[in-house]
């Protein structure tokens, strides 16, 4: 019998027990394994399965794999601080349903997801301080209903999603100090119904309308969560006029926002299949609006296809909070055609603008464009990016040009038919005339009431009294050919004989005189020689030497 058996058993439990189950270099106790500061790069194997506490701090461990902790289902405390852990495989803690405290502070973790902490239903304290975490996504800590302390200080957190802390109904302490937070939504803290300590100091707060709720909350309910010193350490870093002031020192009416204004150029664009596309959506406002692109489908907006210049979320989705304002699509297909929405958001409001994309489905000179039925676009650019290619024209423009060309071709055909018909008629008329030679055709003038068709073919002469007119055709050579079918008229004939001769050949060549002016033949010529007349008639007779056949009328 021992007077103090419990003390004896405790001392024996604390004495290091060399055992075949203790990893090399580690110190093992009954329920504790101490492997700190050994420079090991992975969780050692051979740890007894009954171990409840493991110290692995200050090593060079880079990741936690699924098989590393599978046999350690009795763990209550796991200390992995100050390592080089950058990756935790999803489900790595599935076997640690009894774990109460997990220390991962001082590592290289930059992304935390809900799958990392799956299976930790009894976890009470989680240390994630001193990592490289930049944002906390929605529902990251779901399943940790019993978590009481969450340490996220000394990270680079810029964004705390509205539902990032959902499910933490037992959380009593939240430490977000010394991060890069510029704003904090009121809905982010709503799930924390048991919160007693809130640490948000040493962040570059942007004191605008989005933090109005926090200032009001500090003045009322936040007194029990923030000490007076912590309240004074909530310093504004922007806007410049409020910098170096604490949030509680800023008047509520100075916490203002400017709603966003969006500019989109161009608003309509046509591209060919396989080409790339960049469209800039610029938004202004205060604070700087966050821009996202969404593709509308039958009136509903949905996430755009891959190709947006935005950072991808953990599930491969486009993060709406990191919109760059640039829509980038490569290898454009018909599926890309449609209506897109550029949405700009800040605490002051939301602004949207629509962009319409058409896809030219052919690379030939004449092509058609694909416009989804959901589009309500009535116009499009005439040319794509200053292109003069016919295939870059819109369908309406291409149709109009094709119709115009067809009309011009039809007009030309009709003109050719008319010319051919007239030509045939002229040939028939020439074939039935007395004179068939084209070189020796004669201009006949019967009626001067409407004037001649071509004034260059007419020439007028008058006598001293102004009673005579001679119409001469000077369009032909001076002397006719000896082979001409119409013999050359070299003189004058009597008025009666000339008319009868011409009427027999369906010609109108007349010579009229008035006032008793007669035409006399030279008897020595036997009636066949040229007529003799007065000097005026001689002039006319001589004029025939300088022109081809003459058809003329003399009017008195």
Domain boundaries, the chain: 12-254, 258-391, 394-432, 437-556
Confidence (pLDDT) at 93 = 93
Residue 332 CB-density burial (10 A; 0-12 exposed, 13-18 middle, 19+ buried): buried
In this structure, the strands spanning 290-297 and 300-303 are antiparallel
Report the chain's terminal Cα–Cα distance, integer Å. 175
CA distances from 100 to 85, 124, 169, 173 (A): 20, 5, 17, 16
Query: Which DSSP string corresponds to 161-230?
Result: -TTTTTT-TT--EEE--SS------GGGSTT-TT--EEE--S--EE-SGGGHHHHHHHHTGGGGTS-HHH
CATH class of domain segment(s) 258-391 = mainly beta
In this structure, the strands spanning 197-199 and 173-175 are parallel
34 Cβ contact partners less than 8 Å away, ≥ 6 residues apart:
26, 27, 28, 55
Residue 408 CB-density burial (10 A; 0-12 exposed, 13-18 middle, 19+ buried): exposed
Are the beta carbons of 81 and 105 closer than 8 angstroms? Answer: yes
The vertex-282 CA angle with 280 and 283, nearest 5°, equals 155
Here the tokens at position 58 are 């200050």
Q: What is 12-254's CATH number?
A: 3.80.10.10
Instruction: Name the residue among 225, 209, 205 with its Cα closest to residue 217.
Output: 225
Torsion of CA 220, 223, 224, 225, to 10 degrees: 110
CA distances from 454 to 138, 435, 470, 478, 550 (A): 95, 22, 16, 20, 16
Are the beta carbons of 142 and 114 closer than 8 angstroms? Answer: yes
Query: How many Cα neighbours within 13 Å face the side chain of 342?
Result: 27
Tell me the C-alpha distance between 397 and 155, whole Å: 59
Task: For 141-165, give the secondary structure using H, E and C.
Answer: CCCCCCCCEEECCCCCCCEECCCCC
Are the beta carbons of 107 and 85 closer than 8 angstroms? Answer: yes
Q: What is the pLDDT along the chain (556 residues), one digit of tens a residue?
A: 333 433 333 333 344 444 457 999 999 999 999 999 999 999 998 899 999 999 999 999 999 998 999 999 999 999 999 999 998 999 899 999 999 999 999 999 999 998 899 999 999 999 999 999 999 999 999 989 999 999 999 999 999 999 999 999 999 999 999 999 999 988 999 999 999 999 999 999 999 999 999 888 888 877 777 777 888 888 999 999 998 899 988 998 889 999 999 988 778 888 888 888 888 888 999 988 989 898 876 555 454 443 343 333 344 344 443 445 888 888 888 888 889 989 998 888 999 999 888 988 765 433 344 444 333 333 334 344 444 456 656 677 778 888 899 999 999 999 999 999 988 888 877 665 544 444 444 444 444 444 444 444 445 555 555 554 544 444 444 444 444 444 433 333 334 444 444 444 433 333 333 334 444 444 444 444 444 445 444 444 444 444 444 454 544 4
Predicted TM-score (pTM) above 0.85: no
Confidence (pLDDT) at 398 = 79
Here the tokens at position 420 are 């051919």
Instruction: Name the residue among 501, 497, 539, 495 with its Cα closest to residue 517.
Output: 495
Where residue 112 falls (left for φ over 0; alpha for ψ -120 to 50; beta otherwise) is beta
Are the beta carbons of 284 and 270 closer than 8 angstroms? Answer: no
């Amino acid at each position: 019998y021992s007077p103090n058996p419990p003390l004896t058993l405790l001392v024996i439990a604390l004495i290091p027990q060399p055992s075949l189950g203790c990893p090399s270099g580690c110190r093992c106790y009954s329920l504790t394994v101490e492997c700190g500061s050994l420079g090991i790069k992975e969780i050692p194997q051979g740890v007894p399965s009954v171990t409840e506490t493991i110290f692995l701090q200050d090593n060079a461990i880079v990741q936690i794999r699924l098989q590393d902790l599978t046999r350690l289902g009795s763990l209550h405390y796991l200390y992995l601080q100050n390592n080089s852990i950058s990756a935790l495989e999803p489900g790595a803690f599935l076997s640690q349903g009894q774990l109460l405290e997990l220390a991962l502070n001082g590592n290289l973790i930059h992304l935390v997801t809900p799958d990392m902490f799956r299976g930790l239903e009894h976890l009470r304290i989680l240390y994630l301080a001193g990592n490289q975490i930049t944002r906390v996504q929605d529902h990251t800590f779901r399943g940790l209903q019993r978590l009481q302390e969450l340490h996220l200080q000394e990270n680079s957190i810029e964004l705390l999603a509205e539902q990032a802390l959902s499910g933490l109904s037992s959380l009593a302490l939240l430490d977000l100090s010394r991060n890069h937070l510029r704003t904090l939504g009121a809905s982010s803290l709503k799930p924390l119904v048991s919160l007693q300590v809130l640490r948000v100091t040493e962040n570059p707060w942007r004191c605008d309308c989005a933090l109005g709720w926090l200032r009001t909350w500090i003045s009322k309910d936040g007194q029990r969560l923030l000490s007076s010193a912590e309240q004074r350490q909530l310093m504004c870093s922007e806007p410049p006029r409020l910098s170096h002031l604490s949030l509680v020192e800023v008047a509520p009416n100075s916490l203002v926002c400017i709603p966003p204004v969006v500019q989109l150029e161009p608003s309509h664009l046509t591209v060919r299949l396989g080409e790339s596309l960049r469209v800039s959506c610029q938004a202004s406002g205060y604070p700087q609006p966050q821009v996202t692109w969404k593709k509308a489908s039958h009136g509903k907006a949905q996430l755009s296809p891959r190709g947006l210049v935005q950072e991808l979320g953990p599930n491969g989705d486009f993060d709406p909070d990191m919109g760059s304002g640039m829509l980038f699509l490569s290898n454009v297909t018909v599926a890309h055609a449609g209506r897109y929405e550029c949405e700009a958001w800040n605490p002051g409001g939301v602004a949207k603008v629509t962009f319409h994309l058409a896809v030219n489905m052919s690379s030939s000179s004449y092509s058609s464009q694909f416009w989804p039925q959901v589009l309500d676009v009535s116009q499009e650019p005439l040319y794509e990016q200053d292109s003069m290619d016919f295939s870059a024209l819109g369908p309406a423009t291409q149709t109009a040009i094709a119709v115009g060309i067809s009309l011009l071709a039809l007009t030309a055909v009709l003109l050719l038919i008319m010319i051919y018909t007239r030509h045939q008629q002229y040939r028939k008329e020439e074939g039935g005339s007395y004179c068939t030679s084209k070189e020796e055709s004669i201009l006949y003038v019967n009626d001067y009431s409407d004037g001649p068709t071509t004034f260059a073919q007419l020439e007028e002469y008058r006598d001293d009294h102004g009673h005579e007119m001679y119409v001469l055709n000077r369009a032909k050579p001076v002397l006719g050919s000896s082979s001409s079918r119409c013999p050359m008229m070299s003189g004058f004939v009597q008025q009666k004989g000339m008319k009868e001769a011409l009427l027999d050949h369906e010609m109108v060549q007349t010579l009229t005189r008035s006032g008793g002016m007669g035409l006399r033949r030279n008897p020595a010529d036997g009636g066949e020689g040229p007529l003799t007349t007065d000097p005026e008639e001689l002039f006319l007779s001589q004029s025939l030497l300088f022109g081809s056949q003459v058809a003329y009328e003399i009017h008195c």
